[in-house]
Amino acid sequence: MATPRGEETTVELDGVSLQVFTGGSGPPLLVLHDYEYLNAWQPFLDALAADYRVLVPSHPGFGRSSLPPTFDAIDDLAYFYLDLLRAQPDAPAHVLGLGFGGWIAAEVAIRSTQHIAHLVLVDAVGIKVSDPTTRDIVDHFVIGPEEYLRLSWHDPALGAQRHKLAGLGELTDDELVTLLRNRQSTALYGWKPFLHNPKLRPWLRRIDVPTLVLWGESDRVVTPAYGRAWAEAIPGAQFATIAAAGHYPYLEQPESFVAAVAAFLATGDRAPARPAAR
């Protein structure tokens, strides 16, 4: 792929000093990143920037973004990103949510899709699928980095090369501090209940924009069956998988990932409304 061309900027919004990576031109594409992930301009973003104006913020409390003292729940992130979308001069924007960012994107969309053109959820956490005693989401806080790679990558050896994790490989002091800060903020927003909102799944019926639920076939952090449950709860949503990819298909199979996302964003109008449940 071409040399990355993303630029790092700072945006002031709602009392947050927000780190944002931007690149490309065209319709706006907001990318919301995952946890256990060092947010940066990646090759898959460079490919998307060939056709879109890509905005990749670090969530409040992640990366170099500040954390307001009042932010302590996923609701705060949802309303914050609603304001960010509303502030875009060329809205509506496509929204691409990755993992934890997929949860945030869904929370945004159930509140309002006024400024969203298409929604893509990639290996998203955020809902409860099984019974109360069955785990849906692997607890990354209690396993080591090698085990996490085994569960989150189709090819753990490739993951060791491409994925920066605390306790694995050579990291700069700044990278290590950032990853640990990201973990702290993940726990702040999603510790109890663990990485989901038990009320979210029934409200997914409110999403009325074209939605793609995209999953790595080898994801063992949240399995493809969990992804299908997401798609079944969103009116008109499509479900697709990426072969030879785990929880981070955009890092493991970037060409296939970009092709699937670009094809979806190029098609479709707003999804048909589903009658309200009685």
Q: Could you give the C-alpha distances from 277 to 56, 80, 111, 206, 234, in angstroms and in order?
A: 35, 29, 17, 11, 13
Is the Cα torsion angle 138, 141, 143, 145 positive or negative in sign?
A: positive
Residue found under tokens 């969530």? 59
Q: What pTM did the predictor assign?
A: 0.95
Rounded to whole angstroms, the Cα distance separating 278 from 130 reads 23
Tens of pLDDT, residues 32-54: 999 999 999 999 999 999 999 99
Distance of CA 189 to the CA centre of its chain: 14
pLDDT score recorded for residue 273: 44
So what's the architecture of 7-265 in CATH? 3-Layer(aba) Sandwich (3.40)
Token representation of residue 146:
């090698």
**pLDDT tens digits, one per residue of 252-276:** 999 999 999 999 999 866 554 444 4
H or E element in which residue 104 lies: helix 100-111
Per domain, the residue ranges of the chain are 7-265
User: What is the Cα–Cα distance from 114 to 109, expressed in whole angstroms?
Assistant: 9
Give the total residue count for the chain: 278
